[in-house]
Chains A and B, each alone.
Chain A
Amino acid sequence: MSWMIFWCFSLSLSLSFTAACGCLQLTPPVVLSLLRRNQCFLNESLYIRESEEELAGLQITSCQLNSDMRVCIIGAGVIGLSTAQSIYQHFHSRITPLTIEVYADVFTPLTTSDGAAGFWQPYLYDKGNVQETKWNKETFDYLLSCLSSPDSVKMGIFLQSGYNLCTETAPDPSFKDAVLGFRQLTKRELDMFPGYSFGWFNTTLMIEGKTYLPWLMDWLKQRNVKFHQRKIGSFKELADSGADVIINCSGVRSGDLQPDPELQPARGQIIKVDAPWLKHWILTHDSSSGVYNSPYIIPGSRLVTVGGVFQVGNWSLQNSTVDHKNIWEAACKLEPSLQHARIVDDWTGLRPTRSKVRLVRETIRSGPTSFEVIHNYGHGGFGLTIHRGCAEEAARLFGQILEQKGLLAHSKSRL
């Protein structure tokens, strides 16, 4: 280590800085304290490589030396994991070292994302939340591009076609241009579904949490993202332990960290069924009962997910026999062949419902200091549907934080 310090001394004497960086003058005491604070030593080979190149140009930006950035993500559902991925993808080569850690008390296969059917479809109408429609489409396009990769099966991604059934004529849904082959149902098709007089057919993507989350965790682990099984009591707890930026992906329990009257659970219960002859999803929409409070049948890669209920304010994670009976009866009426299907399991999950997704930065004061929080929660019943768009937006917000801290170089001497 001592030769490193000597080397830095000599470096500091011959360094000059570009004005664009607005960085500090590297005097020996400053260099020493920076080196002590930094994790640079741990990444010796990288440091040496960078610095040798730098030496040639005799220019270095303080970014490489003063960029110890520790990001702590709370939540290991699809939102937390994909946010970690986006941040890594955008910044791991621009910030060194970049430490990303994920804190959660629940991991796959026990998260809300794991129990969900894994069906890409936003709510029919975005009620003016055009950002959300944009993020949904971004996610669809991203997943579609992954479909042709050799990893598609390991990611749990595949195409499936199906029916959206309505009890009355309805305007085109928000996702009509995102999905493939969107069209209205013909009368002959509607004849198969008594009680429904209108609807659409399209091909969309499935993204099964039970497969996607382990794949994301592997991806992150391979890139040295650390996971901690722990329930976080407050943002301050993490800030005090050295987190520079906290990303709140705590889903339905975000209220425990910061009260949010707009965030409510929307309880859902599903039945997992063995019915491998079913090759289409069927979603029904009844304006009188509301979204997801109407039967749906969504075949997965192994089992079929049958639902649904959407009980706002209900925190119970227990399976209800009454809900089971209602769901089953309605689904069998919709799809008579289900009557002979083998029921495998019931599952209950709480959709983190909010009037709109909370995806914003917040600076929180803690005594004399402050820390940055990025909120990314409240994705209701469309977390898997919107995850990538939101993760990329969270990464963008993170980039803003880095810029404000002067940690991002605009001109890099190497390039």
Chain B
Amino acid sequence: MKRVKVVVVGAGVVGLSTAVCVAETLPHCSVTVIAEKFSPDTTGDGAAGILLPREFPDIPLERQRRWFKESFDHLLAIADSPQASDAGVYLSSGYHIFKEIPCDKKPFWSEFVFGFRYMTDREMKRFPNHKFGQAFTTLKCECLSYLPWLEKRLRAVGGQIIREKVTDLHKLALNYDAIMNCSGLGSRFLVNDEEVYPVRGQMLKVSAPWLKNFIRDGDGNTYIYPGIRYVSIGGTRQANDWRLEVDEEDSEGILERCCRLEPSLRAAQVMGEWVGLRPSRANPRVERQYLHVQGRQVPLVHNHGHGSCGVTLSWGTALDALELLRQSLFEKPPQARL
């Protein structure tokens, strides 16, 4: 039986999730992942990986709910299994605190995390500069473990990996029947998506194994996420800032703000610093177009622009992208390549 050759561009959390979705669901497809960067050098590898969505302005809420719910359920099943430590997926509880009471006290995702509630007065006492807080249990998914685990899963169903930077999709389309574009920030150049822009984030890795609960300031600029190997503290949100070098002033600011929220951090040892560029976009782009190559119509499914919600929405958007692929293969069965 002729195999449909699918190529996934990008091996970050979105690329590998998409590849695994396709490879495990469509047995008649062969899946190849082509990317320049692999774990531990992808953007997701530095991210704390806490599942915490934000609301995008132009995507129907129902679709956003589905993206998050499916990602959450998928990772929960892993957290509940013997695979949890290999995959780096586990439950994480904590506090989301606000200096000013937010308009949306109960966001759309509150029903999908566990035990969502407002913080009690006693709990708020720890944060005298904050007026309101939400407490809940969500999941943490550490790409340093998760990406290699996904890669193993991909190979187990015959998926292939090629380490190469892709610069020309038309050329790629000569050798494949379908392309999934999961190139993150790279989409800006690869498909000329001018809506894609970096939001620079700097973080510190500290050793503070006594910290178990996360704390995130609702303004997005200060967070403490206890992880397996270290605690991720941060952060910054610098739009259109392409710098990958560590900025000392940013580090000082991060330490100062985080120690104020969690005084015991003063006893913590800094293990390292990291900078990542969130592949941001007003809304994630999960849609399909066709490339016209040598008389063939090659489906090009986009799955990029997740910004700070890559891990959070990876599985849900991968399932959406899979559906778009499935539809296009059905509507326009691939023709023979020359």
Q: How far is the CA of A210 from the CA of B305 in the complex (A)?
A: 48
Tell me which residues from 16 to 50 in chain A have a Cβ below 8 Å from any Cβ of chain B. Answer: none
Task: Check A279 against B82 for contact (C-beta < 8 Å).
Answer: no
Known: A150-B263, A203-B213. A336 touches B84 (CB 8 A): yes
Residues on A with beta carbons closer than 8 Å to the beta carbon of B314 = none
Residues on B with beta carbons closer than 8 Å to the beta carbon of A337 = 79-85, 90
Task: Check B119 against A159 for contact (C-beta < 8 Å).
Answer: no
Q: How far is the CA of A201 from the CA of B93 in the complex (A)?
A: 11
Residues on B with beta carbons closer than 8 Å to the beta carbon of A341 = 85
Q: Nearest-CB distance from B83 to chain A (Å)?
A: 8
Q: How far is the CA of A339 from the CA of B84 in the complex (A)?
A: 10
Interface residues on B, range: 35 or more
Q: How far is the CA of A302 from the CA of B123 in the complex (A)?
A: 25
Residues on B with beta carbons closer than 8 Å to the beta carbon of A156 = 210
Residues on B with beta carbons closer than 8 Å to the beta carbon of A275 = 85
Q: Which residue of chain A has the shortest Cβ distance to B80 in the bound complex?
A: A192
Residues on B with beta carbons closer than 8 Å to the beta carbon of A147 = 264
Q: Does B152 lie at the interface of the complex (its beta carbon under 8 Å from any beta carbon of A)?
A: no
Task: Check B209 against A302 for contact (C-beta < 8 Å).
Answer: yes
Q: How far is the CA of A339 from the CA of B81 in the complex (A)?
A: 9
Task: Check A280 against B210 for contact (C-beta < 8 Å).
Answer: no
- Find A148's partner among B82, B135, B263 (CB 8 Å cutoff): B263
Task: Check B90 against A277 for contact (C-beta < 8 Å).
Answer: yes
Tell me which residues from 139 to 177 in chain A have a Cβ below 8 Å from any Cβ of chain B. Answer: 147-148, 150, 152-154, 156, 158-161
Residues on A with beta carbons closer than 8 Å to the beta carbon of B263 = 148, 150, 152
Residues on A with beta carbons closer than 8 Å to the beta carbon of B79 = 337
Residues on B with beta carbons closer than 8 Å to the beta carbon of A203 = 93, 123, 213
Task: Check A153 against B84 for contact (C-beta < 8 Å).
Answer: no
Q: Does B291 lie at the interface of the complex (its beta carbon under 8 Å from any beta carbon of A)?
A: no
Q: How far is the CA of A302 from the CA of B81 in the complex (A)?
A: 23
Known: A158-B210, A339-B82. A280 touches B93 (CB 8 A): yes
Q: Does A299 lie at the interface of the complex (its beta carbon under 8 Å from any beta carbon of B)?
A: yes
Q: Which residue of chain A has the shortest Cβ distance to B268 in the bound complex?
A: A153
Residues on A with beta carbons closer than 8 Å to the beta carbon of B90 = 277-279, 337
Q: Nearest-CB distance from B318 to chain A (Å)?
A: 23
Q: Which residue of chain B has the shortest Cβ distance to A160 in the bound complex?
A: B212
Q: Does B55 lie at the interface of the complex (its beta carbon under 8 Å from any beta carbon of A)?
A: no
Q: Does B228 lie at the interface of the complex (its beta carbon under 8 Å from any beta carbon of A)?
A: yes
Q: Does B219 lie at the interface of the complex (its beta carbon under 8 Å from any beta carbon of A)?
A: no
Q: Does B117 lie at the interface of the complex (its beta carbon under 8 Å from any beta carbon of A)?
A: yes
Q: Does B266 lie at the interface of the complex (its beta carbon under 8 Å from any beta carbon of A)?
A: yes
Residues on A with beta carbons closer than 8 Å to the beta carbon of B84 = 277, 336-337
- Find A158's partner among B82, B91, B92, B212 (CB 8 Å cutoff): B212
Tell me which residues from 275 to 322 in chain A have a Cβ below 8 Å from any Cβ of chain B. Answer: 275-280, 299, 301-302
Q: Nearest-CB distance from A120 to chain B (Å)?
A: 14
Q: Does A414 lie at the interface of the complex (its beta carbon under 8 Å from any beta carbon of B)?
A: no
Q: Does B120 lie at the interface of the complex (its beta carbon under 8 Å from any beta carbon of A)?
A: yes
Task: Check A160 against B266 for contact (C-beta < 8 Å).
Answer: no
The 8 A CB mask of B58-93 against A (1 = contact, 0 = none) is: 000000000000000000100111111110101111
Q: How far is the CA of A203 from the CA of B120 in the complex (A)?
A: 12
Instruction: Show 11 residue pairs from A and B whose CB-CB distance is below 8 angstroms, ordered by the A residue.
Output: A147-B264, A181-B119, A185-B115, A192-B76, A203-B93, A276-B209, A276-B228, A279-B92, A299-B212, A336-B84, A341-B85
The residues of B with any CB-CB pair to A shorter than 8 Å are: 76, 79-86, 88, 90-93, 114-115, 117, 119-120, 122-123, 126, 135, 137, 209-213, 226, 228-229, 263-264, 266-267
The residues of A with any CB-CB pair to B shorter than 8 Å are: 147-148, 150, 152-154, 156, 158-161, 180-181, 183, 185-186, 188-189, 192, 201, 203, 206, 275-280, 299, 301-302, 336-337, 339-341
